[in-house]
Chain A
Amino acid sequence: MNQLGTHEQATLNRGWVVLLAIVAFMLGLGYGFYILWHNAPSLLLRPPTAQAAPAVRGRLEAADGTPLALSTPQETRLYPLGLSATQLVGFGERSGGKGLSGLELDLEPLLAQGQNLRLTIDPQVQAIAEQALWKGLEAAKADWGTAVVMESQTGRLLAVANGPAFDPTAPRGDIRKDIAWRNHAFMYALEPGSTIKALTAAVLLEENVARLDTKVYAPMSRRVAGWTINDVVRHPETLTLSEVLKYSSNVGITTLAERIPPKTLFDFFKQLHFLDDQLLPPLSYQPPIAVQIAAPQVRPIQRWGPAEYANATFGQGFLITPLHLTAAYNALAADGVYRQPILFEGNTSQSKAVFRPQVARAIRQALTQGITENAKLRGYTLGGKTGTAQVVVNGRYSSSVYTALFAGFIPSDTPRVTVVVALYHPKGSRIHGAQVAAPIYREIAARLFALWGVPPQPQLEASPNTSKLVH
């Protein structure tokens, strides 16, 4: 050792360096082990980094629990019933599923939160209505059509069928040209045509200004305020109110309707919710969430002149959706009580008596006796009214575009359901409601009776059967 003590100094420095190296080595090694542990593939060792999974988009279910639209945990939106009820349910964005039409759009805030909703739709009734509608639509070569089935005593919508069929999973074209995606029953307001005559007749009976056997002079045409009103079906010159409905006489109904002031009919239209665009009860008031219905277009009473009033008595000059028409006809089925239509289980239907029970029964009886041949079903009591409404194209009534309608009850003596069928722009020689819409109603009735297990009544059979199995 020298006097400066450099030996001790050097030894001390080496010891520190080695210690430092060991510490660095241990730290590096520890870090290596830590990384290995952290990235270990074993699920038990892995730290809980995964956040709570976002809620899967809510399901839409039919009344019996059958899913109409559901999402998998991978956020794939499935429409299990294929083509059934697709226009009502609607569709969403392919990625993310955000609603773009139908209930998927209207109920977006609820579905996005993962809330499931149960509809009143019965999948069997829906399929029956769709099968009949699509078949009839093809035969009539119509642009589109719709059929609504409403349970008479509760106001529940059992089927909202639209055609042509729409596949929400198929590639989409131009949605302005191809309107197969639209729920016409809710989203298209049309002139209901002669189907309204039954309601006008009910108003006349309710106001005690006519009875079913009240006679009226009804030539094939008459002039009202400079406009000519024509009848289509040949009929005797004098008709009873029952026959006015049977022959669908515009002249007869407008003449009889002059016994009441226009405001009376307008007030009944109000009571039947023809001016109401919030027909279905909302699902939430704050924030407002409700199923969208096209706004009806009815002139205010101040603008009802004699011609407008005459038009209104046979369903021209104002626009309502097929859903409005179904709910109004259901008032006749429910012995005069208007029931608010409901689409969701748990909603309650508001009701209000509009006609006396005997008035509703009398009109049903008249519609049963005067039912068109194409709507008759052997062994059963059916009743309803046809309608063929002119359509305004480019500001004028078109001579080629019509809406063919049929509104009726199944059965008509003690109705279980009310049915409205509407076909837009049928083509060819058969364009009238009695020719193209009534057979669809008949098909629906035949299959509903089979579904309910109601056998035909032998006393209602037209002729004794002696052939083999026939249908």
Chain B
Amino acid sequence: MKTVLRWGMVYLLLLTGLTALGHYNQQLNANLAALEQKEADLQQKETRLLLQRYQLTAPLALRAWAEANGFIPMSLGRWVRPERSTP
């Protein structure tokens, strides 16, 4: 009987250890999944920002901005000669 109890104790002890390790692993897994999700979100955000950066600084966008703000190509602009006051 004593032998059965001893082995039973050993069994329970190992089972508890196994359960604890499994629980720990599950926690780590959940943590890792959350990190991977965050990484994917950040990668998406990085892609979006990269695209936004290129589109905001693309020559077409800059030209449209310059035109909207009244900039004139040097080849088309003409300045009046400074007027001199009459003596």
Interface residues of A (CB under 8 A from B): 22, 25, 29, 32-33, 36, 39-43, 66-67, 72-74, 76, 78, 80-84, 123-124, 126-128, 130-131, 377-380, 445-447, 449-450, 453-456, 465-471
A-B contact pairs, 9 of them (CB 8 A): A41-B32, A80-B50, A81-B58, A83-B60, A84-B59, A450-B74, A453-B74, A456-B78, A470-B77
Known: A455-B74, A465-B80, A467-B80. A81 touches B47 (CB 8 A): no
Report the minimal beta-carbon distance from A457 to chain B, rounded to whole angstroms.
11
Report the minimal beta-carbon distance from A44 to chain B, rounded to whole angstroms.
12
User: A145–B77 Cα gap in the complex (Å)?
Assistant: 28
Q: How large is the interface on B (under 10, 10 to 19, 20 to 34, 35 or more residues)?
A: 35 or more
Within B49-71, the residues touching A (CB, 8 Å) are 50-51, 54-55, 58-64
Residues of A near B43 (CB, < 8 A) are 72-74
User: A371–B54 Cα gap in the complex (Å)?
Assistant: 39
Residues of B near A82 (CB, < 8 A) are 54-55, 58, 60-61
User: A82–B72 Cα gap in the complex (Å)?
Assistant: 24
Q: Contact: A84 with B58, CB < 8 Å? A: yes
Within B13-52, the residues touching A (CB, 8 Å) are 14, 18, 21-22, 25, 28-29, 31-32, 43-44, 47, 50-51
State whether the Cβ of B76 lies closer than 8 Å to any Cβ in chain A.
yes
User: A131–B73 Cα gap in the complex (Å)?
Assistant: 13
Residues of A near B78 (CB, < 8 A) are 378, 456, 465, 467, 469-471
Q: Describe A's contact surface by its main secondary structure.
A: loop
Q: Contact: A78 with B77, CB < 8 Å? A: no
Please give 10 more A-B residue pairs, beta carbons under 8 A apart, in addition to A82-B54, A379-B75, A469-B80: A33-B18, A33-B21, A39-B29, A41-B25, A72-B43, A127-B63, A377-B75, A445-B75, A446-B73, A469-B77
Known: A32-B18, A453-B74. A124 touches B59 (CB 8 A): yes
Report the minimal beta-carbon distance from B10 to chain A, rounded to whole angstroms.
9
User: A78–B73 Cα gap in the complex (Å)?
Assistant: 31
Q: Describe B's contact surface by its main secondary structure.
A: helix
User: A378–B32 Cα gap in the complex (Å)?
Assistant: 67
Q: Contact: A36 with B22, CB < 8 Å? A: yes
User: A25–B13 Cα gap in the complex (Å)?
Assistant: 13
User: A413–B73 Cα gap in the complex (Å)?
Assistant: 22
Chain A residue at minimum C-beta to C-beta distance from B3: A18
Residues of A near B60 (CB, < 8 A) are 81-84, 127, 130-131
Q: Contact: B54 with A36, CB < 8 Å? A: no
Residues of A near B18 (CB, < 8 A) are 29, 32-33, 36
The 8 Å CB contact of A449, one of B11, B29, B74, B79, is B74
Chain A residue at minimum C-beta to C-beta distance from B73: A450
Chain B residue at minimum C-beta to C-beta distance from A468: B80
The 7 closest A-B pairs by CB, nearest first: A80-B54, A127-B59, A450-B73, A471-B76, A449-B75, A41-B28, A41-B29
User: A131–B64 Cα gap in the complex (Å)?
Assistant: 9
User: A43–B31 Cα gap in the complex (Å)?
Assistant: 12
Report the minimal beta-carbon distance from B81 to chain A, rounded to whole angstroms.
8
